[in-house]
Structure 1
């Protein structure tokens, strides 16, 4: 939490000079803030409430079962995702495990969502960090005199004239500066695409079509639709636990687990799916405009 609060504070600190554009700031400032807020909610939920609640056997302490199922993971049966709740199944994916008729899906990602969101936030800052090192404070030094609070308007006007004359006299001398900024903008795009692939891998291949599946689900008839969010982020799962019985034989215990955090995870990742695709659209659109005006950009 201390890291999150300090990072948010740094994001809102004003720079000495604007050295990037709107898409760049959306990438390293807005997106990082969103990821940190999401991770803060998840971490607070884990510290304040129980992230998992399991029911297996009254003889075994609940805290022990919760810790065991949280550590080793829970599962659902993919063959029993469809059916009438209360008649065919108690919840999607929760039912009897029959040999040859079951599609076991293990769920352990929820232990790492908080950490992965923080890591993703750090990765979103990498292109910004590289660009700041490449830029080296050139723009801040160039505009330093015209930004002083104690400077009168006349002196500021003269400072602006000096900057304009400098830019005219050095027309075409900042090609490397412009290309470095373009390179870091491309890094933003690669970071977004790479993170989409990472989240798809993290969620066992379910993230790539997650937003489209939810949109399709909304437009389906209530009697024939299956919520894709329940399949990716089940709130009720199963957990198995083996222990020795009174005679020394191994007893197989099968229980139910409630995952309250998944109700929050499904909303978080649905938002991230649309936000990341929107960011890609903005970056591609601006990159196309930059290529169209490449000659003007290089001249500056």
Structure 2
């Protein structure tokens, strides 16, 4: 048991090097924890507790013993009862349902399967992350190295290791040199990123595919749960919390119909004369009290996951199709260097001109590095990029345009 809990804790902690995002963690961490945790609680409550209690009218002839009747009714299912109100006698249940068509023969078996279905839903939420662990293959961890696990901040940034490039006459009126950070580890990382520009499409495509798959799974989970509950979500929806606080005799919602707290059971046996004899009983299902509250919470949780996942996918589509949007997101939220006359303009050029796959690789780097280390990485990336592309006419034109626009010319 201790080993099982330890492994579960490791799952929730996540990897030292992050290769996913908040949306995916909503699925494989938060949602999986909810489903697995509830499945464990219900399993213990069912097999170590008392999931059903059934009684018959006093003196009913041929009624089986209580424990036998409980087990029989739990295995063979129960029927939903309807309230009939008598002012003098009070409320009581009638075993015969008011129903039409096939609903007259409806029995409730599926509350027995709640723990199993929860585990299956947890596995479905975990599927994209399981696929990503195999497809990713530790690539980001090999690239980042110890920068994520041992930041060390200022220790590696030694000015003695820093290099500078003196610019040509095209940029001399704006700045005289482009410096590197002096940090060996961020310099190595910037070279890896720069040298793999254009080679990461398949890696990033798999990641984006799993994001859209996760969003689709959220919708599948909602409608699977609705089917499991007999349409409670689509027919009652947001009114479920208000239904829970009503007196049971006044409830007409589908959740009460799907997971009844009080229900009927018919026990059939052969009499002494060879005829069939039926014994009717009323059963209390205490687990359904918890089930109703859990599935009410789950309705809003799945709605939240669906809405957030959809919004994230819309954001991702914008990232893919709009380079300007990618550049603005990176410039606004990923921080700036202290060398604004040169390095920041080169970085903005990189953000706006690289493909969405290369942008995503830099995004992974940003999510794994401490803020200061990421600034050092940007300085090294701008240094290496300028060294490689300073004679490219397109690069010169774009960078000069940015410098003129921002009015950075030195006097």
**What TM-score, normalized by structure 2, do the two folds share?**
0.64
Alpha-carbon distance in structure 2 between the residues aligned to 1:99 and 1:149: 67
1:1-300 alignment runs, 5 A limit: 5=5, 8-56=8-56, 57=60, 59-77=63-81, 80=82, 83-84=84-85, 89-91=91-93, 94-96=94-96, 103-147=104-148, 149=150, 153-155=154-156, 157-214=183-240, 217=243, 226-294=252-320, 295=323, 296=326, 297-300=356-359
Q: Distance in 2 between matches of 1:99 and 1:188?
A: 39
Q: Secondary structure at the match of 2:27?
A: helix
The runs of 5 or more residues in structure 2 that have no matched partner are 158-182, 327-355, 360-411
> In 2, Cα distance between the equivalents of 1:106 and 1:222?
20
Q: How far has the Cα of 1:285 moved from its partner?
A: 0.7
Question: Contact 1:76–1:104 at 8 Å: present in 2 too?
Answer: no
What TM-score comes out, normalization by structure 1 length?
0.85
- Once residues 99 and 24 of structure 1 are traced to their aligned partners in structure 2, the CA distance between those partners, rounded to angstroms, is 44
Classify 1:171/1:228 alpha carbon distance in 2 versus 1 (closer, same or farther; 3 Å): same
What is the CA–CA distance in structure 1 between the aligned matches of 2:97 and 2:296, rounded to whole Å? 30
Q: Is the 8 A contact 2:260 2:288 kept in 1?
A: yes
CA deviations 1:192-245 (Å, max 9, x no partner) are 122222222222233333432425748999997635432222100000011233
Give a deviation string over 1:71-129, Cα, whole Å, max 9, x none: 1100124xx35x537768524xx444589798443111111001110111111111001
- Could you tell me how far 1:251 is from its partner in structure 2? 1.4
Cα deviation digits, residues 121-144 of structure 1 (max 9, x gap): 111111001111111111111111
Q: How many residues align?
A: 295
Change in CA separation of 1:209 and 1:278 when aligned onto 2, cut-off 3 Å = farther
Note if contact 2:215-2:313 (Cα within 8 Å) is conserved in structure 1.
no
Look at both structures and tell me which one has the larger radius of gyration over its CA atoms: 2
The DSSP-based 3-state class of the residue aligned with 1:11 is helix
Q: Deviations over 1:142-199 (max 9, x none)?
A: 1113245497854474212321233234333312222111100011112112222222
Distance 1:225 1:76 in 2: 12
Q: Is the 8 A contact 1:146 1:155 kept in 2?
A: no
Q: 4+ residue stretches of structure 1 with deviation over 6 A?
A: 1-4, 98-102, 218-225
Separation of aligned partners in 1, 2:50 and 2:249? 33
